[in-house]
Structure 1
Amino acid sequence: MKKIQTLFVRDFTARPSHVLPQVAPGCEWVTDEEGVATRKYDGTCVMLDEHGAWWARREVKPGKTTPTGYVAISTDEETGKTVGWESIEHSSFAKFHAEAIGNSAVSTPGTYELLGPKINGNPDGYDAHLLMPHGWSALSIREDFATAPRDYDGLRDWLRARPYEGIVWHHPDGRMAKIKAKDFPR
């Protein structure tokens, strides 16, 4: 799991930081109409590995101690935060993940979004905790995302008119790019 690159260049000098109308280097494929747009859910990322172990995504700020058994993946050069995996048993989401396992039919290794009443304020109003496979959405949502523009102003307006957290584009070669509604300045 590598942190997904934001589609537009971020202005870290602004408070709060926001994106500028400039495509981030390496994300030009999105504005060139390559890849498929999918819904970005507002939960927390978990992973079922090929050995049947569950992991929770965890960011560690510079100077902070990493959790026991933490597997670092990458460090953001701009913020200094390290992104990696911690065993779900050591995660603050362990209890909610256990409930989600009982509510979800998950057996395929991969990444999932943990959603529900005690996760990130539950903006979608789920009644129980569940696991959503990354890249999956109902047909009506997939059809809506197929209409998403790929330019700065169009994306800002499109996202502001909808209840979604954001978009993740998936390129056939495995590259991904994202944008969140809150990334745009107000």
Structure 2
Amino acid sequence: MEKIPTLFVRDFSARPAVVLPEVSQGCEWVINGEGEATRKYDGTCVMLDPAGHWWARREVKPGKTPPPNYVTISTDEQTGRTVGWEPVAQSAFAKIHAEAVKNSTVETAGTYELLGPKINRNPDGYADHVLMPHGWSIPTIQRDFATAPRDYDGLREWLHARPYEGIVWHHPDGRMVKIKAGDFSTPEPTALPNAG
């Protein structure tokens, strides 16, 4: 799985980096209303390949040596980070992943989000480690995501009003685009009316 492009152009001069109200090249299809909006979970990506082997997504910083058996997918031109897969068994998530496999029903090859108590501070409050198929959500969340706007201001407001990490749009041809609530600068507080 290649790194999914972000809907809006990132301003890397800001700390932390934020997005600008400018659509990233190649992501215009989202603004044009194409593709389905799905929930982006705050976990770590793993993949079950067609041969039945599990892989963990891993980024390697510029100048660092990739781990053994690492399969490179791509390198980000702006950050210099390389995205790829390493066997789950040698990853930092091996034990947690084994628990998640026992707690989940995984029947098909594909990508999954590894979620649970020891992953990214567990923002969704999972009691156990689980594997969530990418693009899947319960029907009430699917309906909520169908209401997501596709413009900068609307998305910023929509995401900041909800507990979700972000959105991933899936195009019928396989392309994907993402945006996270944290990609936007924090909204300005609303001024309280003068009580006097």
Tell me the CA shift for residue 65 of structure 1. Answer: 1.1
Aligned position for 1:167? 167
Aligned position for 1:128? 128
Aligned position for 2:55? 55
RMSD: 0.5
For 1:178 and 1:33, how far apart are their aligned partners in 2? 14
For 1:51 and 1:163, how far apart are their aligned partners in 2? 36
For 2:15 and 2:134, how far apart are their aligned partners in 1? 30
Aligned position for 2:34? 34
Kindly provide the amino acid, as one letter, of the partner of residue 100 in structure 1.
Answer: A
Aligned position for 1:2? 2
Aligned position for 2:16? 16
Kindly provide the amino acid, as one letter, of the partner of residue 142 in structure 1.
Answer: Q
Greater Rg over alpha carbons, structure? 2
After TM superposition, the score normalised by the length of structure 2 is 0.94
For 1:178 and 1:31, how far apart are their aligned partners in 2? 12
Kindly provide the amino acid, as one letter, of the partner of residue 180 in structure 1.
Answer: K
Tell me the CA shift for residue 4 of structure 1. Answer: 0.2
Q: Deviations over 1:76-134 (max 9, x none)?
A: 00000000000001110000000000000112000000000000100000000000000
For 2:145 and 2:107, how far apart are their aligned partners in 1? 27
For 1:25 and 1:83, how far apart are their aligned partners in 2? 20
For 1:73 and 1:40, how far apart are their aligned partners in 2? 21
Aligned position for 1:46? 46
For 1:110 and 1:48, how far apart are their aligned partners in 2? 5
Tell me the CA shift for residue 58 of structure 1. Answer: 0.2
Aligned position for 1:72? 72
Tell me the CA shift for residue 185 of structure 1. Answer: 1.1
Kindly provide the amino acid, as one letter, of the partner of residue 46 in structure 1.
Answer: V
How many residues were matched structurally?
186
Kindly provide the amino acid, as one letter, of the partner of residue 53 in structure 1.
Answer: H
After TM superposition, the score normalised by the length of structure 1 is 0.99
Kindly provide the amino acid, as one letter, of the partner of residue 146 in structure 2.
Answer: A
Structure 2: tracts of 5 or more residues without a match? 187-196
For 2:13 and 2:28, how far apart are their aligned partners in 1? 24
Q: Runs of at least 4 residues of structure 1 off by over 3 A?
A: none
* Same amino acid, percent of matched pairs: 75
Structure 1: tracts of 5 or more residues without a match? none
Aligned position for 1:105? 105
